[in-house]
Amino acid sequence: MIRYILTRLARAILTILLVMTFAFVVLRLSGDPAQILLGPDAPQDAIDTFRARWGLDDPLWRQYLAYLGQILRGDFGTSMRDGSAAITLVLERVPATLALTVPALILKLGIGIPAGVYAALHRESLADRGVIMASIFGFTIPSFVLGLLLVLVFAITFDLLPAGGQDSWRHAVLPIVTMSIGGIGILARFSRSAMIEVLGQPYIRTAMAKGLPWRDVVWKHALPNAAVPIVTLVGFMVGSLIAGAIVVESIFSWPGVGRLIVVSVANRDLAVVQCLLLVIAATMVIANLLVDFAYGLLDPRLRSGRPAH
Amino acid sequence: MSFVSIRDLRVSFSGVQVLHGIDLEISKGEALGLVGESGCGKSVTWLAALGLLPGKATVSGSVMLEGTELIGTPRRRIEAVRGARIAMIFQDPSSSLNPVQRVGRQICESLALHRGLRGGVARAEAIRLLDLVGIPSAATRMNLYPHEFSGGQCQRIMIAMALAGEPDLLIADEPTTALDATIQAQILDLLGRLRRQTGMAMVFISHDLGAVSAVCDRAAVMYAGRIVEQGEIGPLFRTPRHPYTRGLFDALPDLDADRRRLVPIEGTVPDPKALPGGCAFAPRCTRASALCHSDRPGLKPQAGGGRLACFHPVPLPQRAEVYA
Ligand SMILES: Nc1ncnc2c1ncn2[C@@H]1O[C@H](COP(=O)(O)OP(=O)(O)OP(=O)(O)O)[C@@H](O)[C@H]1O
Ligand SMILES: [Mg+2]
């Protein structure tokens, strides 16, 4: 178990390091922040001062080492735009994003999994077909189309809910719904097939042959086994709690992390973008660690340190 | 009266009929062997009787358990039969146990269900059962998961779980097929011993005629969804009358008789979707006549006590030749 955790931890740190490096290089090779922030008409000496101030004239490797040194000291850099600490800018936005993504996650789990399991238990019934069709709709419709459609219907035509902004819970309804539909569809589809797979296993036949009532066969034998693959997908959804709202925040002008990403990338605000990517990568990696840990809890076969699936 | 009596049991999967009217009687305490090539319907017969087939299966006919009909009864009624009156163990022991539950818990679940035992009492009984089926240091090993046991041990655990409900009939569906030879012998020995100790009846499904003769009193031979011959082990094994039964013996390697050649049955089992018109075995049978290709022989009682479905049975030898 110790080795299991250590190898996974090492992998997690390596992943974060890779993301950091990649972001660092790509950002620096894809446009000059001085030009972009100061505008096309800025005088050359202003640009030179700016570049010197942010160390942009140093060779790439020296900038990179300086950056790593900073990170190790817990300094995530300052915004080139307004000089405040990048990490503060990012963390300020997190609650707004979580206010969308957490309820959306709850909806995905609370609707997607039961719908999929129900469909699997009533295979080929009307309900099953309904779930399949609804879930295909859910995960094929792009969220910007769905978002605009919902705005058109609920905000413009019927004027029931606001189309954008962040003033009350009513403003959160459409973004949350837009964001959860796809996840509900995917999770329903996935839970259905995981459950069907498990229901065909010999140990389910054994549980039935024992004389267990069907409810117990489902709750005590089928679901705990079906949970193993479902956890993978849920882990992925947890990992995108921070970064999963870019499109939706843009549609509904919701001032969350997603909006910050769009703005900072457009401005080449290097420190902020790097800080964002670091936070996002860390969330995903932590979610992944949680998944691995959950695997160990759910499936004793994986505790011996063998790779999950 | 028989303990279980199967009449004209028919099963089809999505319109393809795989059982064509099985008749079978099992008395209390007796051991019946069910033999036949892969796919002839041995498992389906008993899965159908216990209502364990998937929803796409259509089942008709009758399975009476001491006068109570099992086919078409409400789910709750059949659930009360499973495990308590009729228990079943399966071919692939390692995947027949729930991989994410400790084996002790899986046995205790049956004890709670059938005998109302809980807590320490259930644990003690589970340990006793595991001891009985030959799992050493049961008290500690009942906390392990199925993947921590070998196939043979998993089958022992399955047997312990089946015994937990103190059933009157145990269906052992090829319990040793997935195991290697020495383990097979141990499991057979265990099943024989348990049957003597508990007096339960047993249906022993197997490809292995030797195992059947060692464990059973009577045997039924199935071919393509029908029983073609049945009788007491002695006469059936000494003088098989159906050419198919005879073929099964001829295909056996024989350690005692020197230089007897293996004679495999020519051809393959017919596809259930396209069964021949007459006797299903006719295309592979060396004794078949035109009649066999057009008409199907019924399963008729024989003078010697068994039953046989054949127009041209293997003649009785003048001096009984010994096979088994
Ligand atoms: N769930 C199922 N769906 C469709 N067809 C099935 C199903 N189960 C069994 N069959 C078919 O029913 C027939 C009888 O199968 P069965 O499992 O009873 O054979 P068997 O005699 O037990 O063979 P084996 O010795 O391989 O276990 C086969 O043709 C098989 O393909
Ligand atoms: Mg079988």
Map tokens 């413009």 to a residue: A156
The span from the CA of B110 to the CA of A212, in Å, is: 8
A interface mutation test: which of B56, B79, B115 has the most A CBs within 10 A? B79
Question: With bands split at pLDDT 50, 70 and 90, how would you rate the model's confidence at A109?
Answer: very high
Q: Taking CB atoms and an 8 Å cutoff, what residues of chain B touch A298? A: 100
Closest Cα in chain A, distance from residue B96 (Å):
4
Q: Taking CB atoms and an 8 Å cutoff, what residues of chain A touch B82? A: 208-211
Q: Which of B315, B279, B314 is nearest to B299 (CA)?
A: B279
The span from the CA of A144 to the CA of B321, in Å, is: 83
Closest Cα in chain B, distance from residue A219 (Å):
13
| Cβ of B275 less than 6 Å from ligand 1 | no
Burial class (CB in 10 A: 0-12, 13-18, 19+), A83: exposed
Map tokens 């396209």 to a residue: B274
Question: With bands split at pLDDT 50, 70 and 90, how would you rate the model's confidence at B198?
Answer: very high
A281 interface with B at CB cutoff 8 Å: no
| Cβ of B18 less than 6 Å from ligand 1 | yes
Q: Whose CA is nearest to atom 9 of ligand 1?
A: B44
| Residue-wise pLDDT tens digits, A259-283 | 999 999 888 888 899 999 999 999 9
A interface mutation test: which of B98, B107, B149, B170 has the most A CBs within 10 A? B98
Q: Which two tokens stand for residue B165?
A: 């409900």
Helix (H, G, I), strand (E, B) or coil at B194: helix
The span from the CA of A154 to the CA of A203, in Å, is: 48
Full DSSP string of B231-272:
EEHHHHHHS--SHHHHHHHHTS--SSSTTPPP-PPSS-PPPG
Helix (H, G, I), strand (E, B) or coil at B196: helix
pLDDT value for A222: 97
Provide the whole-model pTM: 0.87
Average pLDDT over residues B211-229: 93
Query: Taking 70 as the threshold, does the pLDDT of residue B261 lie above it?
Result: no
pLDDT value for B322: 52
In this structure, are strands B4-13 and B57-65 parallel, antiparallel, or unpaired? antiparallel
Contacts of B229 (CB under 8 A, 6+ apart): B220, B221, B236, B240, B241, B242, B244, B245, B306, B307, B308, B309, B310
| Residue-wise pLDDT tens digits, B101-130 | 999 999 999 999 999 999 999 999 999 999
Query: Taking 70 as the threshold, does the pLDDT of residue A207 lie above it?
Result: yes
Q: Three-state secondary structure along chain A?
A: CHHHHHHHHHHHHHHHHHHHHHHHHHHHHCCCHHHHHHCCCCCHHHHHHHHHHCCCCCCHHHHHHHHHHHHHCCCCCECCCCCCEHHHHHHHHHHHHHHHHHHHHHHHHHHHHHHHHHHHHCCCCHHHHHHHHHHHHHHHCCHHHHHHHHHHHHHHHCCCCCCCCCCCHHHHHHHHHHHHHHHHHHHHHHHHHHHHHHHCCHHHHHHHHCCCCHHHHHHHHHHHHHHHHHHHHHHHHHHCCCCCCHHHHHHCCCCCHHHHHHHHHHHCCHHHHHHHHHHHHHHHHHHHHHHHHHHHHHCHHHCCCCCCC
Q: Whose CA is nearest to atom 22 of ligand 1?
A: B43
Question: With bands split at pLDDT 50, 70 and 90, how would you rate the model's confidence at A197?
Answer: very high
Instruction: Round the average pLDDT of chain B to a whole number and report it.
Output: 90
Cα dist. A152→A26, A156, A159, A174, B94 in Å?
Answer: 38, 5, 9, 11, 56
The beta-carbon neighbor of B90 closest among A123, A202, A214 is A202
Hey, are the CB atoms on A301 and B158 less than 8 Å from each other? no
A214 interface with B at CB cutoff 8 Å: yes
Q: Which residue of B has its CA nearest to A224?
A: B100
| Cβ of B42 less than 6 Å from ligand 1 | yes
Cα dist. B4→A10, A137, B85, B205, B301 in Å?
Answer: 62, 51, 10, 16, 19
A268 close to A51: Cβ distance less than 8 angstroms = no
Burial class (CB in 10 A: 0-12, 13-18, 19+), A56: middle
The CATH code of the domain at A94-268+280-303 is 1.10.3720.10
| Residue-wise pLDDT tens digits, B126-149 | 999 999 999 999 999 999 999 999
Task: Enter the DSSP assignment of B290.
Answer: H
The beta-carbon neighbor of A211 closest among B80, B95, B101 is B80
| Cβ of B165 less than 6 Å from ligand 1 | no
Question: With bands split at pLDDT 50, 70 and 90, how would you rate the model's confidence at A308?
Answer: very low
Q: Taking CB atoms and an 8 Å cutoff, what residues of chain B touch A203? A: 95-99
The span from the CA of B82 to the CA of B167, in Å, is: 9
Residues B4-216, CATH architecture = 3-Layer(aba) Sandwich (3.40)
Top-confidence range, A72-76, A215-219, A277-281, B181-185: A215-219
Query: Taking 50 as the threshold, does the pLDDT of residue A126 lie above it?
Result: yes
One-letter amino acid at B92 equals: D
| Cβ of B39 less than 6 Å from ligand 1 | yes
A206 interface with B at CB cutoff 8 Å: yes
Q: Taking CB atoms and an 8 Å cutoff, what residues of chain A touch B147? A: 300-301
Angle at B8 between CA B3 and CA B11, to 5 degrees: 110
Q: Which residue of A has its CA nearest to B171?
A: A209
% of chain A residues with pLDDT over 70? 98
Query: Taking 60 as the threshold, does the pLDDT of residue B177 lie above it?
Result: yes
Contacts of A72 (CB under 8 A, 6+ apart): none
Query: Taking 60 as the threshold, does the pLDDT of residue A191 lie above it?
Result: yes
| Residue-wise pLDDT tens digits, A149-176 | 999 999 888 888 888 877 788 888 999 9
Question: With bands split at pLDDT 50, 70 and 90, how would you rate the model's confidence at A117?
Answer: very high
Cα dist. A214→A221, B204, B236 in Å?
Answer: 10, 27, 41
ipTM of the complex: 0.90
The span from the CA of B209 to the CA of B40, in Å, is: 16
The beta-carbon neighbor of A209 closest among B50, B100, B101 is B50
Gap from CA of A37 to ligand 2 centroid (Å):
74
Listed range (A52-61, A83-92, B49-58, B251-260) with the worst mean pLDDT = B251-260
% of chain B residues with pLDDT over 70? 94
Hey, are the CB atoms on B96 and A210 less than 8 Å from each other? no
| Residue-wise pLDDT tens digits, B222-250 | 999 999 999 999 999 888 999 999 988 88
Q: Which of B108, B93, B99 is nearest to B146 (CA)?
A: B99
> What is the number of other CB atoms lying within 10 angstroms of the CB of residue B305?
12
The span from the CA of B100 to the CA of B146, in Å, is: 8
Taking a 5 Å cut-off on Cβ, the residues next to ion ligand 2 are B 43
Q: Taking CB atoms and an 8 Å cutoff, what residues of chain B touch A301? A: 99, 145, 147
Average pLDDT over residues B288-301: 91
Closest Cα in chain A, distance from residue B319 (Å):
46
Hey, are the CB atoms on B98 and A208 less than 8 Å from each other? no
Question: With bands split at pLDDT 50, 70 and 90, how would you rate the model's confidence at B260?
Answer: low
The span from the CA of A200 to the CA of A121, in Å, is: 11
A309 interface with B at CB cutoff 8 Å: no
| Residue-wise pLDDT tens digits, B21-53 | 999 999 999 999 999 999 999 999 999 999 999
Query: Taking 90 as the threshold, does the pLDDT of residue A307 lie above it?
Result: no
Test site for ligand 1: of B40, B171, B221, B269, most ligand atoms within 8 A of the Cβ: B40
Q: Which residue of A has its CA nearest to B110?
A: A210
For chain B, what are the domain ranges? Answer: 4-216, 245-323
Average pLDDT over residues B76-89: 95
| Cβ of B67 less than 6 Å from ligand 1 | no
Q: Which residue of A has its CA nearest to B162?
A: A210
pLDDT value for A171: 87
pLDDT value for A304: 65
Question: With bands split at pLDDT 50, 70 and 90, how would you rate the model's confidence at B324?
Answer: very low
| Cβ of B54 less than 6 Å from ligand 1 | yes
Query: Taking 70 as the threshold, does the pLDDT of residue A297 lie above it?
Result: yes
The beta-carbon neighbor of A301 closest among B52, B88, B147 is B147
